[in-house]
Structure 1
Amino acid sequence: MNFYDFSAVKMNGETVSMSDYKGKVVIVVNTASKCGFTPQFEGLEKLYETYKDQGLEILGFPCNQFANQDAGENTEINEFCQLNYGVTFTMFQKIKVNGKEAHPLYQFLKKEAKGALSGTIKWNFTKFLIDRDGQVIERFAPKTEPEEMEEEIKKLL
């Protein structure tokens, strides 16, 4: 199994196969609208704008499992991201990243790149870097600012 074996539902209700991102460098990030790390949307968008033409994709997955920091409906979350941070990268519908109901993509990501808490996501804005072949290369902690990932991203582009 690899990254391309999964699918998810975009904010507009369209189911997307991760295989649509074959040949791209991808960052997968669980997001929240009311988190101390929420300003990372700005840095993620900057990375996306800088490198999208070279093959970078960023996939945002809202999650409300950490202190109810994304309790809104999908439409509210999408609007918040666009209005407050000018997000143009792909945002998906809200999912769970931990527990029995964790989205299959996140079950896979956690298995491929264990973090400080082993098989769980510690908090919002945990970031996974995936290469052009669908291999999970690295997991970045929530406190890692998007700019700090830039050198690793450039190596894969």
Structure 2
Amino acid sequence: MTRSPQLRRLHFLNALFAPLTGHDLYLAQQIDDAIATTLGEAEQRTPSDPAFIAATARLFEKLCSTQPQHGFFHWDAGADDTGASPLFTRAGLMTGLKLLAPFAESTLLVTNLRTAHCPPERRWTGRRQRDYDDSLALIRDLAAARTRRSANLNLLFL
């Protein structure tokens, strides 16, 4: 087994679960082991694997529900064909930001944004890259504008 997929998973898990675990790598390893037991062939799975993302998001949401001071919202841009358009990006994020508004600490996980802009069977063009960069800027600006100054929002892209 190469260490690269496992190392990538641990970095992802450490970043995602840091608000709950305090950047404890030992806990990130235990979380990785827990997810690996639920997924087949876990050692080959990367953080961009849809099954790994779904299992991680479910676990994180479950942990956040036990901690009333931390909110969580997962927006999957690739869930339908409209995720790459600015209008639907804004609508999806506003739904999440409204849910996260009451929390002093929260995490907003954005997944499959690259795939929504350029499916795997297509190649990146200058226009697709500009649209992707514009979507990233829109998400960052919207999160900054719609989050209370006293709140701490962790914005993660995968």
Give the TM bin, normalised by the shorter chain: 0.3 to 0.5
Higher relative contact order (CA 8 A, sep 6+): 1
Question: Structure 2 length as normaliser, TM-score?
Answer: 0.35
Higher helix fraction: Structure 1 or Structure 2?
A: 2
Structure 1 or 2, whichever has the larger Rg, is 2
